[in-house]
Structure 1
Amino acid sequence: MSSLSPQERLQRVLQKKTTDRPPVICPGGMMNAAIVDVMNQTGHTLPEGHHDAQKMAQIALDIHDYTGFENLGIPFCMTVEAEVLGADVDYGTLACEPKIARELFASADQVQFRDGAYRMGTGRTATVIQAAYHLHRARPDVPIVGNLTGPISTAASIIDPMNFFKELRKNKAQVHRVLDYVSRHLVEFAQELIDNGATVISIGDPTATGEILGPKCFEEFAVPYLNQVIDGIHAVGAPVIVHICGDMKAVRHLIPAIRSDAISTDAMVSLRRLKEDFPALTTMGNLSTYLLEFGSADQVARQAEQLVRDQVDIIAPACGLSTSTSIAKIQALTETVRGGARGWLA
């Protein structure tokens, strides 16, 4: 198994098969490594890369080549889905990711249901889909991770979020209609990505946390619609990673109900204990992005070694990697896993 390609290694882990060592990846989307250090060295930059498929693909290739992460991940933000559904977006700068500038609707009751919003040729979804195609042709042996913004986060990006949170309790029927609508579009987008070369889909839903929703709303609104999207992706044969932000204590017991192929967590969660509690889970994460930005390369390497010793299945940064993180710190992570993890199965 020492000759496994990055594609084969990640796929084997997601299929719960043995490997020579854990993959080390950074999916993209809310967990992307489009750092200023890489872009300054290559001259391939954002925000231009958010709008041009070839530039987006080139930046993904640059990240892979300079950092050592064993995947290609697109896009580099969490605004693509909401924009195509009507939100206004501030595209940011070289060092600042895009953000939602204005939600389109004041409440769930006002949402206008648009059919086919994710079809090829529509908005920035087309850019991301075309970038997946370019990447697949360029590096067929490297996994291409297509990223989705999860149903609740997308809904809270097209509806005023304060009103949306209130309506989770006061207008449940309409919120369910909106989340079903959003989820169907996410499935369509994901299936287009897969048809054009994406081999894994990663879902980040930072608004869908136990800290924000509480366990009852997480169970009623987060789990079913995450699973609706996951099932739609599984229907076309692709595996799914789901990232859960924040402290999971309030919703820990609900995590096995999410039908993804791997669960990624934030840095404060012990993946060793999570795996002890739920042995069937495939775990991913969760090296502190604060440590990656402000710690020493030796500290990063030691933390990476600990994650390997804890038998985390896929090694990755936790969410929110700063654009000011240095290439050297990231290489301390990737080189430790790639070169120093030979005793993983011993």
Structure 2
Amino acid sequence: MQSFTLKEGFVRALKGKEVDKVPVCSVTQTATVEMMEVTGAKWPQAHYDPEKMATLAIAGHKLAGLEGIRFPFCTTVIAQTLGCKIDEGNIDTHPYQLSFPCADVKDVKNINVPENLCESERISTVLKAAEIVRTRVGEDVPVIAGMIGPAAVAFYLAGAQNYLMWCIQHPDVLQELMEIGTEVCVEYSNALFEHGVDAVNISDSEAGPDLFPVPMFESMVLPQYRKLTSRLHGLSVLHICGDATEILDHMAVSGFNGLSIEEKVNARYAKHMIGDRACLIGNVSPTMALLSKSSEFVKKEAKQCIEDGVGILAPGCGIEPHTSLENLQAFVAARDEYYQGKVQ
């Protein structure tokens, strides 16, 4: 089989086409403290400065060998743009939320979506970083941008307590918040594509069975996903943390090209459920393997994921900031060793 560039392999895998080897990258958070120290691009500045964001994002490719470049590094870009107050965190702590605009159901009517959404400070920073990344790495490396999804937008705006209560008491209010999230995700995603991004990763763990009632997923969340994906001008991935086993079949018909699963989901079973309807992505544990175990353990887990049928080898969720470069390099090497073993 012919050899493909990293971007060609990634795009072909997402589209369900044959590749010479499974791509190995991360569609979720990639930055580590070690990368920050080497590059000088550190949190929290790298969340808000496009040059530093681009430099730190590229480090995952240049230093660890990941076959894709993914940014930004937190989930607060849309939340802050829609009025949530954020603590910027520090070198090994993600930015986190300090306020929730929807303290009451009546507050939903007061949510302010900026008229020029993509000119807002946080989103424009990511768009500028996208341009810088594309200029620096050229056209042969895939560029992936992440954001929260419709259910996560509702969660960030309402807060955990309201989100859980309104699932039962005021599903119409949650629906309205999700619709706001869908519109924002569509506009933001398409702007990213225009600025050189190849795929967007929509992280929407708040729609997963760990938080959201499974019977309501089909009626409330799935229509938002279909509306979102039908309007995107590029490739898309859905990431849901936790045990998403119960909604795998619904995820497979959501319109996303790729489905990113955590290690709580059995990858072999997920592949059986999803089939060829989407590219399965995952699912080496970022904490119980990449962060805390030996390189040999990481390699064993990675090779098993490929054997189980993933179309793109990736961590099951965001890489922990204190993960070693040695383990990330072993993660990439495992893919090569897997195919070398097959040849032998």
Structure 1 residues 342 and 312: alpha-carbon distance in aligned structure 2, compared to 1, 3 A threshold: farther
Q: Secondary structure at the match of 1:126?
A: helix
Q: Secondary structure at the match of 2:211?
A: helix
Within a 5 Å distance, the mapping from 1:139-158 to structure 2 comes to 139=137, 140-158=139-157
What amino acid is aligned across from residue 175 of structure 1 in structure 2? L
Structure 1 residues not aligned, in runs of 5+? none
CA distance in 1, matches of 2:274, 2:42: 41
Structure 1 residues 333 and 2: alpha-carbon distance in aligned structure 2, compared to 1, 3 A threshold: farther
Are 2:27 and 1:52 aligned?
no
What amino acid is aligned across from residue 246 of structure 2 in structure 1? A
**Partners of 2:22 and 2:335 within 8 A in 1:** yes
Please point out which of 309, 312, 315 is paired with 1:314: 312
Within a 5 Å distance, the mapping from 1:1-346 to structure 2 comes to 1-27=1-27, 31-111=28-108, 112-117=110-115, 119-139=117-137, 140-233=139-232, 236=233, 238-280=234-276, 281-289=278-286, 290-342=288-340
Report the alpha carbon displacement of residue 341 of structure 1 after superposing the two structures with TM. Answer: 2.4
TM-score, L = length of structure 2: 0.94
Aligned pair count reads 340
Report the alpha carbon displacement of residue 250 of structure 1 after superposing the two structures with TM. Answer: 3.2
Q: Secondary structure at the match of 1:82?
A: helix
**Identity rate of aligned residues, in percent?**
26
Report the alpha carbon displacement of residue 116 of structure 1 after superposing the two structures with TM. Answer: 4.2
CA distance in 2, matches of 1:157, 1:117: 20
**Partners of 2:291 and 2:320 within 8 A in 1:** yes
| CA deviation vs aligned residue, 1:175-219 (integer Å, no higher than 9, x gap) | 222211121011101111110000101111121111211211222
Q: Mean Cα displacement is larger for which, 73-82 or 35-44? A: 35-44
Report the alpha carbon displacement of residue 113 of structure 1 after superposing the two structures with TM. Answer: 4.0
What amino acid is aligned across from residue 61 of structure 1 in structure 2? I
TM-score, L = length of structure 1: 0.93
What amino acid is aligned across from residue 336 of structure 1 in structure 2? A
**Partners of 1:309 and 1:344 within 8 A in 2:** no
Structure 1 residues 82 and 118: alpha-carbon distance in aligned structure 2, compared to 1, 3 A threshold: farther
Structure 1 residues 69 and 102: alpha-carbon distance in aligned structure 2, compared to 1, 3 A threshold: same
What amino acid is aligned across from residue 122 of structure 2 in structure 1? R
| CA deviation vs aligned residue, 1:2-52 (integer Å, no higher than 9, x gap) | 53111000001111110000001112xxx2121111111222111101111
CA distance in 2, matches of 1:70, 1:338: 12
Report the alpha carbon displacement of residue 342 of structure 1 after superposing the two structures with TM. Answer: 4.6
**Partners of 1:118 and 1:189 within 8 A in 2:** no
Structure 1 residues 117 and 90: alpha-carbon distance in aligned structure 2, compared to 1, 3 A threshold: farther
CA distance in 2, matches of 1:254, 1:344: 34
**Partners of 1:57 and 1:134 within 8 A in 2:** yes
Q: Mean Cα displacement is larger for which, 274-283 or 195-204? A: 274-283
Q: Mean Cα displacement is larger for which, 13-22 or 114-123? A: 114-123
CA distance in 2, matches of 1:134, 1:243: 25
**Partners of 2:75 and 2:148 within 8 A in 1:** yes
| CA deviation vs aligned residue, 1:270-313 (integer Å, no higher than 9, x gap) | 11122123322321100011211111100101111111222310
CA distance in 2, matches of 1:342, 1:222: 42
Report the alpha carbon displacement of residue 126 of structure 1 after superposing the two structures with TM. Answer: 0.4
What amino acid is aligned across from residue 65 of structure 1 in structure 2? K
CA distance in 1, matches of 2:237, 2:340: 25
Backbone CA RMSD of aligned residues:
1.8
Report the alpha carbon displacement of residue 161 of structure 1 after superposing the two structures with TM. Answer: 2.3
